[in-house]
Amino acid sequence: MKSIDWANLSFGYLPTDYNVRITYRDGEWGELEVSDSEYIPMHMAATCLHYGQEAFEGLKAFRGQDGKVRIFRMEENARRMLSSSRGIMMAELPVERFEEAICKVVKLNERFVPPYESGASLYIRPLLIGTGAQVGVKPAHEYLFLVFVTPVGPYFKAGFKPVPVCIMRGYDRAAPLGTGTIKVGGNYAASLVAGDKARNLGYTAVLYLDPKEKKYLDECGPANFFAIRGNSYITPASQSILPSITNKSLMQLAEDMGMTVERRAIPIEELGTFEEAAECGTAAVITPISQIDDLDENKSYIYTPDGKPGAVCEKLYNKLRAIQTGDEPDVYGWVTVLD
């Protein structure tokens, strides 16, 4: 293996040694299989190709100062994949089978877990797809659950550095009562045009508004949104956003720091009242927002006039990272230490 430049990894795909798979056929899940192929043999009429029966997850493993490998909150990912499965009528993989697969694939690829000092981590990507052939619009009878891993650096090249985002009312990533609350590829397909447009204008992401009224803040494409005002951690409650496990963790940490957590509809007018704003997610961790430009109304909200992350974002970031790497005790039982 060519040696990996851990400190300069991007958020991209780097091949590793193995992936693991479980097939659902004749009404039941089979054995866990180990594969060294990067390909999936598939029927051309598979429902994932035609009717979007596809859900995915994203979580990370970290190497601690003690050399041990820690996986963050995988039970939450297992449960969320169950909810995605119900949302688009796919076979439901039991939580224990999901966890078994995650531990196995991380162990098999342990040499790809970046060293503690690098700040990089091993990204774990579970995938569930309908593989059974179907020409009419109906759920498949066969499914494939697959997990691959890849070492990653920060999602945004800037790392823990504030980035600009924009608001564009011409695009939605999810419908008001659609699939925004589950982690399915279809939502991402719907976000590609707006994302590309935003990047071409120099923004790292689109901050979507609620698709029904365009009055409230939703989320930032692949990451949730939160803001800080005084002693409050404020994050949207909405029928069209994905319940982020990172956000859930940060709400807990904020509360433990003595902050008030407000999870509620956030009218766009409040943008001018926040002291800090940020995106959060497994990939983004916490990515502070430097400014939000409302491109339709021609307004700008600036959160980091000196270009530095806000103090509360920084504190939350450090706390979360410390738990993930084992520098601080895992009082919530969020971490699975591999033996």
One-letter amino acid at 316 equals: L
Q: Which two structure tokens, joined as six digits, stand for 195?
A: 């994302």
Options 140-148, 243-251, 257-265, 324-332: segment touching ligand PLP (CB under 6 A): 243-251
Q: How far is the CB of 225 from ligand PLP (least distance, A)?
A: 9
Phi and psi, residue 84, nearest 5°: -65, -40
- 67 Cβ neighbours under 8 A, 6+ residues apart: 116
Binding-site size for ligand PLP (CB under 6 A) equals: 13
Nearer to ligand PLP, 82 or 132 (CB): 82
240 belongs to the binding site for ligand PLP (CB under 6 A) = no
CA atoms of 302 and 6, how far apart (whole Å)? 33
Q: Does 246 bind ligand PLP (CB under 6 A)?
A: yes
* Residue 182 and residue 84 in contact, taking contact as beta carbons nearer than 8 Å: yes
Type of residue numbered 199? R
Contacting range for ligand PLP; rule: CB under 6 A; set: 26-34, 46-54, 240-248, 253-261? 240-248
Catalytic residue numbers?
183
From 157-165, 200-208, 244-252, 270-278, give the range in contact with ligand PLP by CB under 6 A. Answer: 244-252
Q: Would you count residue 219 as binding ligand PLP (CB under 6 A)?
A: yes
Q: What is the DSSP letter of 309?
A: -
Counting Cβ atoms within 10 Å, is residue 101 exposed (0-12), middle (13-18) or buried (19+)? Answer: buried
Q: Does 87 bind ligand PLP (CB under 6 A)?
A: no
Beta partners for residue 225, in sequence order: 279
Binding residue for ligand PLP, selected from 127, 223, 278, 312, defined by CB under 6 A = 223
Residues 250-289 interacting with ligand PLP (rule: CB under 6 A):
281-282
Does residue 58 interact with ligand PLP by CB under 6 A? Answer: yes
**CA 287 to CA 187: how far, in whole Å?**
21
Scan residues 173-202 and list those touching ligand PLP (CB under 6 A): 183
Question: Residue type at 15?
Answer: P
Whether residue 179 contacts residue 88, with contact meaning beta carbons closer than 8 Å, is answered with yes
Q: Which residues bind ligand PLP (CB under 6 A)?
A: 58, 183, 219, 222-224, 242, 244-247, 281-282
